[in-house]
Amino acid sequence: MKLSIERASLLKAVSQAQSVVERRNTIPILANVLIEAEGNTVNFRATDLDIEVVDKADAMVERAGATTVSAVMLHEIVRKLPDGSMVTLTDDAAAGRLTVEAGRSNFNLATLPKEDFPVMASSEYSSNFSCNAAVLRRLFDKSKFAISTEETRYYLNGVYMHVSDADGGKVLRCVATDGHRLARIDADLPEGAADMPGVIVPRKTVGELRKLLDDDEMKIAVSVSETKVRFATPDITLTSKVIDGTFPDYTRVIPQGNTRKLEVDAKDFANAVDRVATVSSERSRAVKLSLDEDRLVLSVNAPDSGAAEEELAVAYGDERLEIGFNAKYLLEIASQVDRENAVFLFNSAGDPTLMREGNDTSAVYVVMPMRV
């Protein structure tokens, strides 16, 4: 195999591939990226056995062929090469070596046979549709903060993507929760997605998918089956197993009868929470919200380190309420608001609180209070 490729396109392809590769590997071949050159394109394929990413790049291929080489090492080399240089990759299968040449630099890397590389079995997808990158980005960006990190409740370690009913129509919905907070984000249902099975997209896949979604105009081809999900752009295909488990019935925890309404500027609120939480002890990080007519007092009382208090002008017309929250959860939820105002709906000091952006019901957040 011998090919020449521009540094920028090589770096883009290799960086996506190497981010999938697990740093600590017991199986040596999984640390490698499979390079397949044919015609005038070269494919870079990497996997951790749960996720597979294939990146296509244009190249001048002199000799077709395939080999595998350390993904992290190749990425580091290409990253350090001067901008705009042409990189030549030459594989010597007999010697088990890949030569990387650019300008006056010359690298000789150990390879492993391509036959050992595990290629993810192709499967039939029951649902195929295309979706705008901006839509997918919003769905996953706004929900991923609530993904659980508890390994025991593995079915919460991802975002539940499914078709649901909202306001009399069907929507594409993403939900994530860790038991303390929940995010439910809706988007218009793309054409052809109506019969999509609900799947739990793992946390790592959500992180990798994010890298495909920077271009607002890009159309992403989405394919879903009971066991796998695939996201594809013209250059990159990301295939992932989905979490094998049943996502809990989240509709039961979204409060319907919360009537006490607080409207506050999201940015001011987040900054105030951040300021008063500075004095609280790391573990509890509890912030107390004391609500009275059109004023909100945020306070933290940490006996060992001090106390803090800040008052905000807000829109609130119900009876007095004192309620406590974990500061980190409040900050994360408030930072999801794109518009100016966040609307909080309370019931009592012991019940879950609902938050949304203005009157927009397509993004709803729930956070559990804590005793203060």
Statement to judge: residues 189 and 207 lie in one domain: yes
Question: Is residue 49 domain-resident?
Answer: yes
Statement to judge: residues 143 and 73 lie in one domain: no
Other Cβ atoms closer than 10 A to 151: 7
Among 25-39, 86-100, 196-210, 281-295, whose mean pLDDT is lowest? 281-295
For position 276, what pLDDT does the model report?
A: 93
Among 225, 250, 275, which residue terminates a domain? 250
For position 284, what pLDDT does the model report?
A: 66
Question: What integer is the mean pLDDT of 13-22?
Answer: 92
Question: Is residue 296 domain-resident?
Answer: yes
For position 166, what pLDDT does the model report?
A: 87
Q: Is the pLDDT of residue 119 over 80?
A: yes
Statement to judge: residues 327 and 227 lie in one domain: no
Grade residue 102 by pLDDT with cuts at 50, 70 and 90: very high
Question: What integer is the mean pLDDT of 165-172?
Answer: 89
Statement to judge: residues 130 and 244 lie in one domain: yes
Statement to judge: residues 312 and 360 lie in one domain: yes
> 135 near 219, Cβ under 8 Å?
no
**Percentage of the chain lying above the pLDDT 70 cut:** 99
Question: Is residue 91 domain-resident?
Answer: yes
Statement to judge: residues 241 and 261 lie in one domain: no
Statement to judge: residues 244 and 135 lie in one domain: yes
**Residue at 40: amino acid letter:** N
Statement to judge: residues 196 and 288 lie in one domain: no
For position 27, what pLDDT does the model report?
A: 92
Assign residue 279 the CATH number of its domain: 3.10.150.10
Residue 314 C-beta-side C-alpha neighbours within 13 Å = 30
Question: What integer is the mean pLDDT of 191-200?
Answer: 95
> 97 near 108, Cβ under 8 Å?
yes
Phi, psi of 302 (to 5 degrees): -115, 105
Question: What integer is the mean pLDDT of 26-36?
Answer: 95
**Residue at 203: amino acid letter:** R
* Structural tokens at position 113: 């046979």
- Give the chain's length: 372
Other Cβ atoms closer than 10 A to 259: 8
Tens of pLDDT, residue by residue over 225-271, are: 999 999 999 999 999 999 999 999 999 999 999 999 999 999 999 99
For position 121, what pLDDT does the model report?
A: 84
- Distance, in Å, from the CA atom of 116 to the CA atom of 120, rounded to the nearest integer, reads 12
Question: Is residue 244 domain-resident?
Answer: yes
Question: Is residue 119 domain-resident?
Answer: no
Tens of pLDDT, residue by residue over 283-321, are: 668 999 999 999 999 999 888 888 999 999 999 999 999
Q: Is the pLDDT of residue 277 over 80?
A: yes
Tens of pLDDT, residue by residue over 331-358, are: 999 889 887 799 999 999 999 999 999 8
Among 218, 250, 282, which residue terminates a domain? 250
Grade residue 215 by pLDDT with cuts at 50, 70 and 90: confident
| Average pLDDT of the residues of the chain | 94
Statement to judge: residues 138 and 47 lie in one domain: no
Statement to judge: residues 243 and 258 lie in one domain: no
Question: Is residue 371 domain-resident?
Answer: no
- Residue 176 CB contacts under 8 Å (≥ 6 apart), including other chains: 143, 144, 145, 146, 147, 148, 156, 158, 159, 160, 182, 183
Statement to judge: residues 241 and 167 lie in one domain: yes
For position 167, what pLDDT does the model report?
A: 79
* Structural tokens at position 198: 């609900």
Residue among 117, 54, 107, 48 nearest 76 (CA): 107
> 146 near 152, Cβ under 8 Å?
no
For position 313, what pLDDT does the model report?
A: 94
Question: Is residue 96 domain-resident?
Answer: yes
For position 41, what pLDDT does the model report?
A: 96
Question: Is residue 370 domain-resident?
Answer: no
CA torsion sign, 258 to 259 to 260 to 265? positive
Among 235, 250, 265, which residue terminates a domain? 250
For residue 43, give its domain range: 1-114
Statement to judge: residues 282 and 246 lie in one domain: no
- If one counts the domains in the chain, the total is 3
For position 31, what pLDDT does the model report?
A: 96
Tens of pLDDT, residue by residue over 51-76, are: 999 999 999 999 999 999 999 999 99
